[in-house]
Amino acid sequence: MIPSTFDYVRAETVEDAIKLLVESEGEGKLLAGGHSLLPLMKFRLTSPGTLIDINHISDLQGVQLKDERLVVGALTTHRDIIKDQLVQEHIPVLAQTARQIGDIQVRSRGTVGGNIAHADPAADLPGVALALEAEIELQDEDGKQRVSADGFFFGPLLTALPETSVLTAVSFLIPPMHAKSVYVKYEHPASGYAVVGVCAIAGKNASGKVDFIRVGINGVSDVAYRASAVEEALLGKAVTEENIRKAALLATKDAEMSGDMFASAEYRSHLCSIYTERALKQVLL
């Protein structure tokens, strides 16, 4: 439970962090909240030669409203999200999700950027990010770029984040005014990680038909995913319990279920349909 020897340096700016990453030649890791990285280091599942502390970069903190999106700085903590007025007004499901992440220590130190960049399949934010059509903002020596959430997550702890880039922010699309949103999960009782987590955002028109729907799922597969089959099954359809039930049965169609010590693939598939149905009922009925 003791990490390998490493050098500790503190970055004062994003550019400074990028420079240090380049100089580390693939041996550097960024330290934000540390709740994901440090346990991996203690178990020596990762052994960075240089630990680059980015906690003092003020440009990476806070929430802003820009072009129909909420832009959340990478160092914004889950506790910050819970309290933020812009989040509560425009995307309350972000605050609802943040309340379900870990314990008070994790929520106080863990960051939005770290949760997204770590890409744990059981983490809560990746599924929500997919449902909110998030864009991941990156910066390297050549400048800034944006990567859509559906092209960012590759697999367990694998993302499109290059080793010499800094994840600076995550921007979330604000749903239509009439749409409701919710995040529900069945969590492991010890860790709080999602065995299955479902984010549903949906709205219906005056005639009672679904005119907007997004569903993101995490915890059941090697990577969070958009449940496109569920969305297609309900879009344009009348809101009935039967239509919702049938659509929820398609929740596993877009991914291969994972089995582990916490739940078999078969059980996860069962839970996925149940929790998708619960989420859809909350936002549509």
- pLDDT of 48-79, one tens digit each? 999 999 999 999 999 999 999 999 999 999 99
Residue 197 confidence (pLDDT): 99
The answer to whether the CB of 123 falls within 8 A of the CB of 115 is yes
pLDDT at position 192 over 90: no
- Domain residue spans of the chain: 7-53, 61-173, 180-284
Instruction: Give the relative orientation of helices 265-284 and 241-248 as an angle to the nearest 10 degrees.
Output: 150
Where are any strands of DSSP class E within the chain?
7-10, 28-31, 50-53, 63-66, 69-73, 135-140, 143-148, 153-155, 158-159, 166-173, 180-187, 194-204, 210-218, 225-226
Q: Who contacts 56 (Cβ-Cβ below 8 Å, separation ≥6)?
A: 10, 11, 12
Instruction: Write down the pTM of the prediction.
Output: 0.96
Distance CA 235, CA 219 (A): 25
Q: What is the mean pLDDT of residues 228-254?
A: 98
- Encoded tokens for 246: 């049938």
pLDDT at position 82 over 80: yes
Phi and psi at 201, nearest 5°, equal -130, 120
CATH T-level fold of 61-173: 3.30.465
CATH T-level fold of 7-53: 3.30.43
Residue 259 confidence (pLDDT): 95
DSSP 12-32: SSHHHHHHHHHHTTT-EEEES
Homologous superfamily of 180-284 in CATH? CO dehydrogenase flavoprotein, C-terminal domain (3.30.390.50)
The answer to whether the CB of 94 falls within 8 A of the CB of 181 is no
Residue 266 confidence (pLDDT): 97
